[in-house]
Amino acid sequence: MLFIHGLGEDRTGINYFFASEAKKLYRMGYSTCQFNLIGLGDENGIPNLETWVNQLDLVLRFLTSSFPNILIIARGICRVLFSTSTYNGKIILLGHSNKNDYDLSYINRYIDNDWVKVPQNDVYSTKEEKFWLNLAVETSSIGGLHLPLSLFQQLESKLTKKCYVDYLFSLGDEKKDSTLFYRNSISFPNVDPLLRKEVEREIVSQKISEVLMEWKRKKGD
């Protein structure tokens, strides 16, 4: 089981959801892997989508040498890493960014020398709040973090590309757009996209367990 965190998070996931989920799945008999995307968490470097694509490729090549069946749980903007339908593993996209709610004009006032300073949640407008929530960024936790403007420009382009996943988990009022391709879709209208409450994390965790059990039955394990 490979976990891929979102923007403004690290390998422990939003509100430590990946860390707790990895422990739970390990107890269920799954091997688990978490890593920091370059430039996030305690991983040095500058955040860059192309670098992340190459990083994910290296991780998958390393894991598949020992584990032929890789299951991926990915967050939010990680949809841009799955722009091909040829990947043979299974992917759950937990929350998803929408190209229709992505407007770089909302961050203009936070740009300084080609870097964007993530605002604290008490200084931005409602539209700006929607912008950050669309990226599943919890500004109350990472307000003040600097991210390169080039990353947001890459996202603007990549969010228009097709994304292929097996399960699409829509959290809160997240809306699907025409670029999302999925075999199954599950909506959690009462679950906060930032998974801030324990009861919400438990709801999503239970559904992940059900999906994994279904996959195992189909494989005849």
- Chain segment 100-119, per-residue pLDDT in tens: 889 999 888 889 999 999 88
pLDDT (0 to 100) of residue 123? 63
Confidence of residue 190 (pLDDT cuts 50, 70, 90): very high
Of 218 and 13, more confident: 13
Give 75's strand partners.
94
Instruction: Note the pLDDT of residue 113.
Output: 92
Convert the pLDDT of each residue in 5-62 to its tens digit.
998 889 999 899 999 999 999 999 999 999 999 999 888 999 999 999 999 999 999 9
| Helix, strand or coil, per DSSP, at residue 165 | strand
SS3 content of the chain, % helix, strand, coil (to 5): 40, 20, 40
Question: How does residue 87 score in pLDDT terms, banded at 50, 70 and 90?
Answer: low
Among all chains, which residue has been given the structure tokens 């939010």? 76
* Residue 122 pLDDT exceeds 80: no
Query: Are 153 and 168 spatial neighbours (Cβ–Cβ below 8 Å)?
Result: no
Domains contained in the chain, CATH given? 2-99+161-219 (3.40.50.1820)
Q: What is the pLDDT of residue 86?
A: 52
Residue type, 195: L
Q: Is the dihedral of CA 131, 20, 151, 76 positive or negative?
A: negative
**3-state SS assignment for residue 11:** coil
Alpha carbon distance 129, 135 (integer Å): 10
